[in-house]
Structure 1
């Protein structure tokens, strides 16, 4: 068996080329061999039957339309364009239709499922408005159709993607879900990333965090709104949601406070941020229990957008989807649903829109200078934003903390 796997792995590096394009037919054969020789033995050890395995992959082939694929015999490269909304231009993520739609339907859902939301909040400490924000963003409260075959998506990305090991593990988890009969009928459809059901759980997260919200001793995240609500709350609670604390507050940051102070590793008590001149945009005081606790500066568009003091709960939301914009969206929508809040006081500037490959070049330049940008992935996360700010300050410039086209010539 070991010899056969070695030969199989060597074959992956010897794929014939047709001009500059991979021979997709040859790669398809390797994919089918990989399923049989690598995935099936793993699945069998995890208790998956041959019948379940064959049913899962009946008619399944590689999906070449998925992002971040690395066909055998090629090198992973930073993609030029950005397909995932969470990492594009910040302002576009908060478009009028998305915000208003999630808020309007969320208020309807808050009334319709008040009992389930209250029960989950009592059990987990997670506010119902936060659960609604996630539910709305992930699946439009269960109204957005999910059409991808989960086994095709996870199989393709497990075989040839930038995170092949991760998706291979998720593929095994999906097979275990199918073996246990958790999903009703032909419900094993997923997002382009392999996420399942109304809360869009990755398969391994379903196995860990799916919860029964209606008392029938099942966790049905496909058809049951109560189970969906309970599962989202359980996920956040298990990831450290702090009962009684908010997720964050929009603030005004004076010019004397550098945007390079952003990040969860540079926290200080909120009352100490106040001493630096940071104030809530509403003019209200921070709640006293929040003033005594730690908060973190968040400036997702640098100086060209709204600023926030966030709490540890903000980073629990990021555990659900590792994006500052995602966590900010669901917290903001939740506040709009429950409190009737309007738009952020500060507008989003015209930033973002660079190719990921351009940002990656800047990141590598900053790394050579000794900055920790969080990896040269082409994504402007908080480590990249504040590194740009520190670089700007080292040049005697005012820190703006966001990659811009004008920086390309100096950061290359």
Structure 2
């Protein structure tokens, strides 16, 4: 039974072009603290399928080499060659012009990130939990049908719904065509923007929505569960049977489309997303790496136990799990399974996936975290992360390009440095490590 185990809290597909796939493959996965900050009512954020921006010193110097009218004329030829009708293109582009707020958002690199515990406080806010409970009851039959069709737990779907758009209330107010045209013209990621813009025009041509009603985030994410256009084309479904795949106005279509995406991302019917665990004092924290997977039985042999000694369900002993330390070795620990990884494909942030799992359990009274967060140890700023990566490289710990993104290469370098100091090698960036490297 998913998301319902004794004494524990078990709890969009983007292949637009080869160049886009390479962008995703080469990007380092963000740490938990790198998730988008939540407000009391969450801001609509771009989904994980948008490749993360790796900042360079040249970003602000980029300038188009042609006028927008010239770019639009060239793109119109591409669109028509791809099968878009001329009258549909002209209607969709009526009044479209570059939006500087989109360019600014695309290039922005926030200096500070909220700690994972603050992120979770917003994600698991009482109002969101209460609203989710109510919607689970109101949509019980529809959610049951979606569960039967796709095998994805209804609580998880409602959690995604709540985190992406506050249950459909905040979907974004920008023209998707205008935003994507701006990003394509701006020129920093033309392959991605072009692919999304063609896909958006295909959606309009299919008749699922009118151009003036195709609204979303600055990055082109749309609807109640924030699909980008290519993901919409591959995974959106008409589950309410009205002849349109309406992820904007139909919560049924939005939730079923999300279930379809999670199913294709490896969701395992009837399995938990993960659960909180405790570690022995001499535990080898270097094992807390998302690339390391072991069965629950193997983790137990290595010194991992369920929190407060809760039982492990018979079917879980052989499940493949990774160990997650979202705030390093001094914070809570979790074993996470395939369903956690499926959520990461929806939004590639460990704190987001953790929030989905915990929120799904809060709807039934669970989802509590019992380990203590290290609230005295605030995350490094972006400037400090870049300095840390630079210092690691200077001390022969290869962290890759100093870009402020704490991904696999940086975590490996951090572990090596921590081991040299005789510290727990959890791969987590801290002020203590930064100061030690400065002193060295």
TM-score, scaled relative to structure 1: 0.83
Matched, 1:380 2:406: yes
Of 276, 283, 294, the residue aligned with 2:302 is 276
Tell me what 1:33 maps to: 70
Tell me what 2:120 maps to: 94
* Change beyond 3 A, Cα 1:28–1:106: farther
Q: Comparing 161-170 with 259-268, which one deviates more in the overlay? A: 161-170
- Structure 2 SS opposite 1:196: coil
Matched, 1:340 2:377: no
CA deviations on 1:268-298 (whole Å, 9 max, x unpaired) are: 1111111222122243122121111211001
Contact 2:329 2:424 in 1 (8 A): no
Contact 1:361 1:411 in 2 (8 A): no
Alignment of 1:67-78 (within 5 A): 67=104, 69=106
- State the shift of 1:113 in Å: 0.7
- State the shift of 1:403 in Å: 1.6
- State the shift of 1:21 in Å: 12
- Structure 1 SS opposite 2:100: coil
Contact 1:259 1:389 in 2 (8 A): no
- Greater RCO structure (CA 8 Å; 6+ sep): 2
* Change beyond 3 A, Cα 1:52–1:68: same
- State the shift of 1:376 in Å: 4.4
Tell me what 2:339 maps to: 313
Q: Give the total of aligned pairs.
A: 379
In structure 2, C-alpha distance between the alignment counterparts of 1:376 and 1:334, rounded to whole Å: 36
TM-score, scaled relative to structure 2: 0.78
In structure 2, C-alpha distance between the alignment counterparts of 1:193 and 1:388, rounded to whole Å: 32
Contact 2:286 2:425 in 1 (8 A): yes
* Change beyond 3 A, Cα 1:357–1:23: closer
- State the shift of 1:210 in Å: 0.4
Tell me what 1:288 maps to: 314
Tell me what 1:398 maps to: 424
* Change beyond 3 A, Cα 1:356–1:292: same
CA deviations on 1:199-249 (whole Å, 9 max, x unpaired) are: 100000000000122123431111111111111110111111112211100
Alignment of 1:120-269 (within 5 A): 120-160=146-186, 162-184=188-210, 186-269=212-295
Runs of 5+ unmatched residues, structure 2: 1-57
In structure 1, C-alpha distance between the alignment counterparts of 2:158 and 2:206, rounded to whole Å: 28
Contact 2:156 2:360 in 1 (8 A): yes
In structure 2, C-alpha distance between the alignment counterparts of 1:178 and 1:270, rounded to whole Å: 47
- State the shift of 1:398 in Å: 2.9
* Change beyond 3 A, Cα 1:292–1:209: same
In structure 1, C-alpha distance between the alignment counterparts of 2:397 and 2:390, rounded to whole Å: 9
Contact 2:64 2:187 in 1 (8 A): no
* Change beyond 3 A, Cα 1:145–1:126: closer
Contact 2:64 2:185 in 1 (8 A): no
Structure 1 stretches of 4+ with a deviation exceeding 6 A read 20-24
CA RMSD between the two structures: 2.9
* Change beyond 3 A, Cα 1:69–1:251: same
CA deviations on 1:301-353 (whole Å, 9 max, x unpaired) are: 1124321000011111000011111111111101111x311531123323444
Contact 1:373 1:387 in 2 (8 A): yes
In structure 2, C-alpha distance between the alignment counterparts of 1:146 and 1:217, rounded to whole Å: 24
CA deviations on 1:35-62 (whole Å, 9 max, x unpaired) are: 222x222211221122222232322222
* Change beyond 3 A, Cα 1:253–1:386: farther
* Change beyond 3 A, Cα 1:279–1:189: same
In structure 1, C-alpha distance between the alignment counterparts of 2:428 and 2:171, rounded to whole Å: 35
Tell me what 2:328 maps to: 302
Q: Comparing 175-184 with 314-323, which one deviates more in the overlay? A: 175-184
